Chain A
Amino acid sequence: MGDAESNSPAAAGVAPPVKLKLTRVSKTYSNGTQVVEALEPVNLQVRAGEFVIFFGPSGCGKSTLLNIIAGFEDVTDGEVLLDGRPVEGPHHDRLMMFQEHGLFPWLNVIQNVMFGLKRQFRFKPRARRAHARRFLQMVHLGEFERARIHELSGGMKQRVALARALAPDPKVLLVDEPFGALDALTRAKLYGDLQEIHQRTRKTIILVTHDPREAACLGDRVLVFSGRPGRVKADIAISLPRPREINDPVVAECAAGIMAQLEA
C-alpha cells in the first residue's frame, strides 16, 4: 500500500500549509468481465510551494494519478482535497501541461497565453495582454509575442505552453512529461527555466516523468511508483541545493539512489 504522507517540508522552520491532500485514492478499470486495478490506494499530502515528482516506469499509474488530480479522470475510491475542498472535474486551479504542447494554431503566441485569462480580466483586454506579456517574458520569449506557433522551435513551444499554464495563476501546476519530445540541449535549458520559475513563483508543482535524472534535478520530493498494479513504493526527499544542473554528478548519484528505490 502506498503510504506516502509528507514528512519533508521544503523549508526549515514553520512548515507551509498542505495544498493538496489525497486520501486513499484508488482507480480500477473494468472492461466488461475483467477488472484491472490501475492504482492501489494512495495517501499523499503536498505542501504549498513543493515541487513533487511522480517517477516510475510506464503503466505504473503515475499519469493516472495526475489525471485524477487534474479532474480528467474520476477516482474509483478515495478523495482529493485542494485547500481542504474536494475537487470536481477539470478546473483552472489545477492546470495541466501536457506531453504535446497543444498550442492553438489559430492564435498567435500572446493570444495563446491570454487564452486562460478570460475570467480574471473579463472586460479588460489591455490588462489581460499585459499580464500575459509578463509570463511570456518569464519564459524568455518576450520578443515572440506576435509569432505564429509553427514558427517556433519545439522547446519554444513548450515554453509558451508553460507561460500559458502559469498565467491564470493555478494553485497547482500539473506537468505530464513535457520534455519527452525535446533534444537534450533544449531540455537542459528548460530544466533551468523551470527551476527558476519555481523559485520565483513558489508555485506548487507536480511533474510526471520516467527519467530518474529529471526527477533528481527538479524535485523537492520524488514519489517512486512501481507497476501493475500501480502503487507508491517510496517517498524520497531531495535536498540538493538549487539551481541543479542535469549533468551534475551529484544529480546523477541522486538519480541512481532513486533507481535503487524502484528496484528494491
Chain B
Amino acid sequence: MRVPPYRIKYYVLGFYLLILTAWQALFSAQIIPDFLFPSPLQVARRLWELTSDNYLWPSLKATFQRMGIGFAIAACMGLLIGLLMGMSRVANSCLRSLFLGLQTLPTAAWVPVSLLIFGLSDRGIYFVIIMSSAPAVALAASDGIQHIPLIYLRVARTLGTPGYAMPARVILPASLPSIVTGLKLGWTLAWHGCVSAELIKSSIGLGFLLQMGRELNDAAQVIGIMVLTILFGLLLDRFVFGLMQKRILVRWGLAPKASG
C-alpha cells in the first residue's frame, strides 16, 4: 500500500512516539536499575534543571561558537585545497590519497595529538574540528570540479572569461552541488570532532556536560546531552545544509520530482 506523501510525517511522529513509549515501558519493567537507565521523564527533568541552573545555555553557546569559527576555517581551507586539487593533476594525486587516509581516522583520534600540541587550550578544539572536516570538504570540492562538464569551460572561454576569473565565475559555481554535499558531510564530521574534543579538553560545552554527567554518575544527564547533541546536529544538517542543497537542486532542475 502506498502512503500519500502528506501523511508520511504522521508516520514519522508515530515512530518517535513508539520509541519513547518503548523506552518508558522498558524503564517501568525495572529490568535495569534506574540509576543506570533513566526514564524519558527523568532525562527531560534533568535537562530542565541544567537549563534553569544556567549550565546548558553557556555550554551550547560555547559549542556553537567553536563550531562556527572552527568549521568556517575548515570550510575555507577545504575549498581552497579542493580548488587546487581540482585544477592540478599533481596536487590531486598527492593530496587525494593523503586525505582519503586521514578520513579513515575516527575524529576522536585527533584529540590526543591536539592535547600534545595545544594542551588544554581552545585552539586544540579548533584543530580537531579542522582536521576532522577539512579533508571531506576538499575531496568533495575536487570531485565536483573534476566532473564539471567540459562544455561550461569551453563556453566560458569563448565568451572571453580570463583565466584568473574562471574559479569564481565558472569552476566554483559549476561544482556547487558537490561542494554543498561536502560541506554537509564536513559539518557532521566537525560536530563529531568538536564534541569528542570537548569531552577531554574543556570546562564548557556539550562534550563537557557529557563528561560531567559521567563523573557525577548521572545517567539522566549523559543521555539528555546525547539526545541534545543528536538533535542539534540533525537540525543544522537538515535546516542549514539540507535547505541549501535543496535550493541548489531546485534551481538547477536536478531536484527529484515529488514521489506520489
Contact = CB atoms under 8 A, between A and B. Distances in A.
Interface of A: 70, 72, 90-92, 94-96, 98, 100, 102, 104-107, 115-116, 118-119, 148-151, 164-165, 168
A106 B174 contact: yes
Interface string B153-176: 011111111000100011001101
B252 A105 contact: yes
Nearest to A107: B173
Contact of B154 (A102, A105, A106): A102
B176 A96 contact: no
Given A104-B173, A106-B176, A150-B253, A92 B151 contact: no
17 contacts: A72-B154, A72-B157, A90-B160, A92-B158, A94-B158, A96-B158, A100-B151, A102-B149, A102-B152, A105-B253, A106-B176, A106-B251, A115-B169, A116-B160, A118-B161, A118-B165, A168-B159
Contact of A119 (B160, B169, B173, B252): B160
A90 B158 contact: yes
B159 A106 contact: no
Interface string B218-260: 0000000000000000000000000000001001111000000
Nearest to B175: A106
Contacts of A165: 158
A119 B159 CA distance: 10
Nearest to A167: B159
A96 B160 CA distance: 11
Nearest to A120: B160
B159 A164 contact: yes
Interface string B115-155: 00000000000000000000000000000000001011011
A72 B157 CA distance: 9
Contact of A102 (B155, B169, B176): B155
A98 B160 contact: no
A151 B253 contact: yes
B173 A115 contact: no
A105 B149 CA distance: 12
Given A90-B158, A92-B160, A106 B173 contact: yes
A115 B164 CA distance: 15
A150 B255 CA distance: 11
